[in-house]
Amino acid sequence: DVKVTQSSRYLVKRTGEKVFLECVQDMDHENMFWYRQDPGLGLRLIYFSYDVKMKEKGDIPEGYSVSREKKERFSLILESASTNQTSMYLCASSSHLYGTYEQYFGPGTRLTVT
Amino acid sequence: KNQVEQSPQSLIILEGKNCTLQCNYTVSPFSNLRWYKQDTGRGPVSLTIMTFSENTKSNGRYTATLDADTKQSSLHITASQLSDSASYICVVNTGFQKLVFGTGTRLLVSP
């Protein structure tokens, strides 16, 4: 079974803090994704990575950066957290970018910025 | 603009009853369509993936249909159980794992 784990289920941070969200997958997948999920908006792609040290912007990259130093680990960084970044953050991984390959999701991190 | 619309937004049914959730999409290009189940506070879990040429796909009590001509899909749940209470999300893959997500239907199965 594919396992995608995220470092925290719940996180509370203050405005202006630097925030790190960590994601680890154990299936040797090339591709990893970061999404945020807000009520009434569905999941939106922030960034994805198709290889170590490679990254591509998604639909809403502003205010975020990512790091992929190892194949199994993909980090999302909020350089200076703001209240509008309060959201559920979901990490996913996939073995291939094309075709009907699954994206496997982690359990999510609910981030509150006060 | 690529869009995936789901209806209804929410639904309450009695345990043991059937229900059908709807998905309309205006997405181009189209690679495949997925249905995910998301329990409260959890990540989505895939139920089915259908390509352009597939009309129906089943996964246990879940049956998804796809009409690529009308750009509509449905998810039918048979003999509902309390554990079916969740959000069901319709997702269209435009290729290159670029997914367009619907906002989901929240289903509550009542005893």
| Of residues B28, B44, B37, B40, the one with CA closest to residue B94 | B28
The confidence score (pLDDT) of residue A97 equals: 75
Q: Which residues, at least 6 apart from B97, have a Cβ–Cβ distance to it below 8 Å?
A: A31, A33, A48, A94, A96, A97, A98, A101, A103
What is the pLDDT averaged over residues A93-105? 85
A20–chain B nearest CA distance, Å: 19
Contact criterion met (CB below 8 Å) for B74 and B21: yes
User: What share of chain A has pLDDT > 90, as a percent?
Assistant: 85
Q: pLDDT class for A102, splitting at 50, 70, 90?
A: confident
- Contact list in B for residue A31 (CB cut-off 8 A) is 97
pLDDT higher than 70, residue A65: yes
The confidence score (pLDDT) of residue B4 equals: 96
d(CA B42, CA A14): 24
d(CA A67, CA A54): 9
For B7-48, how does the pLDDT look when each residue is reduced to its tens digit (9 = 90+)?
Answer: 999 999 999 999 999 999 998 888 899 999 999 989 999 999
For A29-49, how does the pLDDT look when each residue is reduced to its tens digit (9 = 90+)?
Answer: 999 999 999 998 889 999 999
For B50-95, how does the pLDDT look when each residue is reduced to its tens digit (9 = 90+)?
Answer: 998 999 999 999 999 999 999 999 999 999 999 999 999 999 998 7
Contact A100 B46 (CB under 8 A): no
Please work out, in degrees rounded to the nearest 5, the angle formed at the alpha carbon of residue A30 by the alpha carbons of A28 and A36. Answer: 105
A97–chain B nearest CA distance, Å: 5
d(CA A69, CA B26): 37
Mean pLDDT of chain A: 94
Contact criterion met (CB below 8 Å) for A46 and A58: yes
pLDDT higher than 90, residue A5: yes
Interface of B with A (CB under 8 A): 4, 31-32, 41-46, 49, 51, 89, 93, 95-99, 101-104
Structure tokens belonging to residue A79? 């350089």
The confidence score (pLDDT) of residue B69 equals: 92
The confidence score (pLDDT) of residue A2 equals: 66
